[in-house]
Chains A and B, each alone.
Chain A
Amino acid sequence: MRRLTKRLCSALVLVAVLSVFFAYLPTVYLAESSDADEVLVFLEEVVNLDVAKYNVTHLGTSVTYPDWLDGIAQVNGKYTLESETSRIDVLFKFRNNTLSWCLMRILEGSPQYLKSPSENICELSHGFLQNYQDYSGDSELKAMRNILDLVDVTENSTKTVDILKLKISVNSFSSCLDWRYTLDGADCGGVDVSFRNGHFYAFSDDRSYYQTTT
């Protein structure tokens, strides 16, 4: 009888402990760390941000399956990065397990870089594409760099070489460069990057999923 009471008490204690544990288990968003960590690698290797100088807070990620992606998962998330000299927000989206969007919003101060970025927007764009090619191993990016030499990136213009079109849009907010493949006059996947006040601002690459969804 005593043994039964003891076991019952143990079970009750276990129930209580587990109940509290489950109740306070955080609402975990899926696909947490591995994708998100990739964003920090991108910031370091492509944007040249000195990530080690920052306290990084991951605000979590969420996974959605938008109709337009036809079953492909989209992972959305946000980081905040704080250092002694600057505060930065970073937004990102992964689609088809590839980083397809990253935006770096400078909230305070000036970012700390591994290598100071060029003040020349053309060099800045070249450097970004070269770093992105090294990071991704994607040889298509070479053609995108080559077309840069044929345009003046400080004014609005469009240049097409074979099936690759580069559109440059300069406005009071940012300078945006959009490389897009065209097939029979229709736009297909491409890469888009914008710079603001001499710093990387945002990047998109929809080549891993665009053709499959349109």
Chain B
Amino acid sequence: MKKIVALMLCVLLSVSLVFSTLILSIIEETGSHGDGKNEGSAFIIWGTLDYADETYMGGETERNASREVCDIIYGFFADVDTYDYYENFWGNNTQPDQVYSNVSYCEENYNFTAIFYKGHSIGAYCDVESCELGEHWTLYASKGYGEEYIVDYLIHERVSSATHDFVFLWTCGYGSEDMIGEIDENGHSVGMLASWMDTTGLEADGYASPDSSNHCFIGFDVFSICFSNKTGYADFDYGDFASLFFMYALYEGWTVNDALDAAVEETHWQSSFGDCQLYTGYSMADPENERQPVVCYMRVWGDGNLILLRGEEEDG
């Protein structure tokens, strides 16, 4: 008799678990994400394949590290399952037209979009007749140098609702104050921050003084550091830092600043991002003057208290 009762209990528990799974799947299907205009969140990774220059781009090693780290980051977003649209377009899919069409798509369909780009920067001039903004700034597309580039003002032309709220460009220069950019009275823009985020008013040190703007831009002042460069602690490299940043940024309630601190603590033996060379400055060789290294920084613009793990509260 006891055996029968135990068996029945087991059956009851099993059936209950099956039904609970069904209930959860119904809740998910009827949830608030992804079924309406300007709701939900998107995350997209872009990255060039061009690491031809061994000395300043890192060569094949850096290209492989970039691919691997972007795969890992993509995996974190897939695991949390709170983003309605997430893509890893690193490599061949990083085509200018695809970038621009994704900017339009995300602006029109999501109220929060996060971007991560890994690659290189180069200047260019635009053919807009009324342009008085001088040199424009671009990102390397898939094939890199000498091919097509992703141009600042062409990104901005697709921005319709200013919902690219988190942009992290792991490339040279675009985090420096003189490359933040501007937007003229015709809506013509220069600079990656201004172009992606449709603003020029973000706090310059969003780590130390978050500005509550709900916009955060991370970029490098002068030269970015290779993923394959070692941090100096244990066997960590900057690819580990980047992937850990996104891992922590997707913890419930953790901010961009929290993720920066936690990633630094693990990879640098520094107890905070504020103590780390990414914030205080690191030396890099200058291709134009090899005898004189330059001091470079990772800059956090805007709101370091931004939360990347989107939920109903953040989406609302």
Which residue numbers of A lie inside 8 Å of B, CB to CB? 11, 14-16, 18-23, 25, 59-60, 62, 66, 68, 76, 78, 80, 89, 91, 93, 101, 103, 105, 107, 169, 171-174, 176, 178, 192-194, 196, 201-204, 206, 210, 213-214
Contact = CB atoms under 8 A, between A and B. Distances in A.
A173 B16 contact: no
A194 B20 contact: no
Contacts, number: 120
Given A103-B272, A173-B208, A173-B279, A202 B262 contact: no
25 contacts: A15-B15, A18-B13, A19-B20, A20-B23, A22-B19, A22-B20, A23-B21, A23-B23, A59-B253, A59-B254, A60-B252, A68-B236, A78-B251, A91-B262, A93-B266, A103-B271, A173-B280, A174-B272, A176-B270, A193-B271, A201-B272, A202-B265, A204-B269, A210-B234, A214-B234
B20 A20 contact: yes
Contact of A169 (B12, B19, B22, B275): B275
Contacts of B124: none
Contacts of A60: 252-253
Contacts of A173: 207-208, 274-275, 279-280
Nearest to B248: A76
A108 to B, nearest CB: 11
A189 B214 CA distance: 38
B85 to A, nearest CB: 23
Contacts of A16: 19
Contacts of A202: 261, 265, 271-272, 275
Given A202-B272, A203-B271, A22 B16 contact: yes
Interface string B270-305: 111011000110000000000000000000000001
Interface in B64-120: none
Contacts of B257: 105
